[in-house]
Amino acid sequence: MTTAGPFIHSGQTNRKIMVMVLVSLSPSLVAALVRYGAGAGLVILSALAGAWLAELLLDREQAFDCTALVTGAIFALLLPPTAPWWLGLLGGAVAIGLGKHAFGGLGRNLFNPAALSRVLLMGVLPVYFFSTTWTIGGLTRASPLAKESGAIGPTITELLAGNTPGALGQAAPHAVLVGGLLLVLLRAIDWRIPLTYLAAVAFLALVLPASARIEGHAPWLLGNPLLHLVGGGSLVVAFFMLTDPVTAPFSPSGRIVFAIVAALYTMLVRFYTPYPDGAALAVLLANATVPLIDRATLARASGDAPLGATVLSTDSAAP
Amino acid sequence: MSPFARFLSTAREALYGRHIPRLKSTGDTAITQIEAPERVRLAIAGQVAVVEVGETVEAGDLVARTPEAVRFQRRVHASLSGTVTALSQEEVVIEGEVPDRPPITHSEPDWISPESITDTAREAGLIGMGGAMFPAYVKLSRVAPIDVVLVNGCESEPYLTCDQRVLEEQRGEVDCGTVLAMHAVEAERGLIIDRETYYPGGYERLLIRDVLGRVVPARGLPRDVGTLVINVQSALALHDAVCLGRPLIDRVITVDGGAVGRPGNYRVPIGTEVGHVLDACRVDVSKSAAILTGGPMMGRLAERLTPVTAGTGGVLALTAAELSRSRTQPCIRCGHCMEACPFDLPAAYLAETPHKAVLGCVECGACQFNCPARIPLVERLQRAKAVVTAWD
Ligand code: SF4
Ligand code: SF4
């Protein structure tokens, strides 16, 4: 026991924060289950199992702190409902093994484990991630952000109902939103990150100049901020991935810069590349800028701090 | 504080302050005299005893003082009437009886010179009762122009309510002490701050910033911005010394915590052993997981033999549930420590990497209170401070 205070504590633990995140993820998981049925259930279970087993293998103590389950659940939200069970298992394990423990374990990873795992696996197994054209009402529909000629853009109602092809996390935007707002209210995440990210995405959707590719293949991507907010991975990224404290900047001002970087990258991919969505990649890119952002913002914060409070103790120095 | 500034600070707190709960449950308990202790241990380190073992003393008699040549003068007076039973370089032990508190005649002197107030404060052995225990007469001398005297009654440490009770029950004397302090430093204004505040809003620098909007410069003192801050009980003691001729021999403390059978506010002779306080307040030793002197944020672990000093605001006997211990985990960089810090210091970083900004840390513990990874930040910050201080 230490002799210096404080002797009381808020009662908060890493584990409780992780449980809050898990609870907040559950509306999205349930929505995916309701929408896609057993297929989604298999994806979710396999991702959770993959992450948790990897954690158990690599750090037995941490395994009961729920961090691996959070990573597994987020990874599941990034998978299409058609993904095979072994992909969930593999992805969850890669997220924990390579994304977290390869960097030294909890608190030391530079990249969001789920995003890293998804990007790594997408590189070698693209077919399981991209085969997302569906037939709805007799028409072949692409995922809302896809740039393929012949597809039809989603309507607003379809978007809001999550009635578009995509990953599990897109099944119900309102479920993601409910979970995200819960996290903000529980103060388990910093509200600045989702707010800044979503605002920047909407803003960029309005002001970025169009490219020939979009104009030719997917004109509905233009002037449609709502599509960019709820289509693709924006909401999951905003509330559950960028907000992972370990891989976000430390200071409040740094977090705002960080969210803007992520939004910019997301929108550049959507507007100027053939890929449907850059949200997961944007998370990794923004993660990579964190050490830089931290150095800049913390040097400033420390410079502002009053110095010398300890020089001469005087009356009523203790509060 | 202007309404706009107040609005800003409220909004700031709502959005990203991290609060320390007040946990004050003894605010309505009137001050009572504690059961008489058999003996007191008066700390006299650095002073010369003027009594001998076996000598009979009256409460209020001088028992030790610093030699004239010492820069900051201290005096210690007997807090019991009885016999000196032991004496060492460090302490004087007196066994005897608690004196009656003299009836309050409250005759404010018609005129008294500023110098004589300062002299009385020195001879009465007044020291800062907010915890710093620095001789009060030094601050009460006219070394720099002072225009405002702040009497600090914020008592932002959780659990403690003794200053609040003193303000409620002895407001007249505190007012008088405030006027005396104003007179001593020739200040035009005196403010008694009795509002509730956030922790550690009672910290001198924050109080001056919040109440007066003045920023105490880096490595500076309140007097650099024309301000004198004294604790409520220091003001009371100044009144007692000047108006009643009574040196500093007792104080009011809060006794609280889940293991305390009779929590409340007690007037105790200085030097009373913590063990006596625990017995008098019916502390259930089997329930108590930690005994502290002071508040739960900045207090210290105490033993039964630890004496109550002039700077002790409380004696707490906390249960395991109140301590809420949990094993230390890796830092998850959540930033809660920075959100909680009244000076916006990034504690997680400063605890790891020495940086001069750590000197601005006042060790209030707000960061550690909020750290979900249960990292002993204060201990690490203290170590970092020592490293940085060694650079100069
Ligand atoms: S030290 Fe504690 S409060 Fe600060 S960032 Fe790390 S885990 Fe969070
Ligand atoms: S860094 Fe220092 S001043 Fe800031 S909250 Fe922690 S202990 Fe208090």
The ipTM is 0.89
Instruction: Give the confidence band of B359 by pLDDT, cuts at 50, 70, 90.
Output: confident
Q: How far is CA A215 from the centre of its chain?
A: 29
In chain B, the residue whose alpha carbon lies closest to the alpha carbon of A311 is B219
For ligand 2, is residue B124 a contact (CB within 6 Å)? no
Minimum-distance CB partner of B324 among A9, A17, A252? A9
Higher local confidence (pLDDT), B18 or A87: A87
Higher local confidence (pLDDT), A300 or A167: A167
Interface of B with A in 246-305 (CB under 8 A): 290, 292, 294-301
- Please tell me the CATH code under which domain B249-323 is placed: 3.10.20.600
Q: Report d(CA A71, CA A76) in Å as an integer.
A: 9
User: Hey, is the C-beta of B14 within 8 angstroms of any chain A C-beta?
Assistant: no
Average pLDDT over residues A248-260: 94
Average pLDDT over residues B30-53: 95
- Please tell me the CATH code under which domain A14-300 is placed: 1.10.3430
Name the minimum distance, in Å, from the CA of B298 to any CA of chain A: 5
Looking at residue A2, its pLDDT comes to 57
Higher local confidence (pLDDT), A129 or B330: B330
DSSP string, B213-282: ---PPTT--GGGGTEEEEEHHHHHHHHHHHHH---S-EEEEEEESTTBSS-EEEEEETTBBHHHHHHHTT
Instruction: Give the confidence band of B391 by pLDDT, cuts at 50, 70, 90.
Output: confident
Q: DSSP state, B322?
A: H
DSSP string, chain A: --SSS--------HHHHHHHHHHHHHHHHHHHHHHHTHHHHHHHHHHHHHHHHHHHHH-TTGGGGSHHHHHHHHHHHTS-TT--HHHHHHHHHHIIIIIIGGGTSTTT-SS-HHHHHHHHHHHH-HHHHH---EEETTEEE--TT---TT--PPPHHHHHHT-SSS-GGGS-HHHHHHHHHHHHHTTSS-THHHHHHHHHHHHHHHHSPP-HHHHHH-GGGTT-HHHHHHSTTHHHIIIIITT-GGGS-SSHHHHHHHHHHHHHHHHHHHHHSSSS--HHHHHHHHHHHHHHHHHHHHHHHHHHS---TTSS--TT---
Name which of A136-140, A145-149, A250-254 the model is least confident about.
Answer: A136-140
For ligand 2, is residue B340 a contact (CB within 6 Å)? yes
Percent of chain A scoring above 70 in pLDDT: 84
Looking at residue A144, its pLDDT comes to 66
Instruction: Determine whether the interchain pair A314/B318 forms a contact, defined as Cβ–Cβ distance below 8 Å.
Output: no
Looking at residue B111, its pLDDT comes to 77
Looking at residue A309, its pLDDT comes to 28
In chain A, the residue whose alpha carbon lies closest to the alpha carbon of B316 is A7
Instruction: Give the confidence band of A134 by pLDDT, cuts at 50, 70, 90.
Output: low
For the entire predicted model, the pTM comes to 0.89
> For residues B164 and B27, is the Cβ–Cβ distance under 8 A?
yes
In chain A, the residue whose alpha carbon lies closest to the alpha carbon of B370 is A10
Looking at residue A148, its pLDDT comes to 59
Mean pLDDT of chain B: 91
* Nearest C-alpha neighbor of B184 from the set B224, B143, B124: B143
Percent of chain A scoring above 90 in pLDDT: 53
**Domain range list for chain B:** 3-29+106-244, 39-97, 249-323, 336-391
Higher local confidence (pLDDT), A233 or A98: A98
Non-local CB neighbours of B96 within 8 Å, separated by 6+ positions: B39, B57, B59, B80, B81, B82, B83
| For residue B87, pLDDT beyond 70 | yes
Higher local confidence (pLDDT), A176 or A145: A176
Higher local confidence (pLDDT), A219 or A36: A36
The domain made up of B3-29+106-244 has a fold known as Rossmann fold (3.40.50)
- One of 2.40.50.100, 3.20.20.70, 2.40.10.10, 1.20.1050.10 is the CATH number of B39-97, namely 2.40.50.100
Instruction: Give the confidence band of B197 by pLDDT, cuts at 50, 70, 90.
Output: confident
Kindly list the residues from chain A whose CB atom is less than 8 angstroms away from the CB atom of residue B339. 252
**What is the per-residue burial (b if ≥16 Cβ within 10 Å, else e) of B75-104?**
bbbbbbbbbbeebeeebbbbebebbeeeee
Instruction: Give the confidence band of B105 by pLDDT, cuts at 50, 70, 90.
Output: low
Name which of A107-116, A150-159, A246-255, B373-382 the model is least confident about.
Answer: A150-159
| For residue B303, pLDDT beyond 50 | yes
Instruction: Give the confidence band of B198 by pLDDT, cuts at 50, 70, 90.
Output: confident
Nearest CA to ligand 2 atom 6: B367
**Domain range list for chain A:** 14-300
Gap from CA of A77 to ligand 1 centroid (Å): 28
Same fold, B3-29+106-244 and B39-97: no
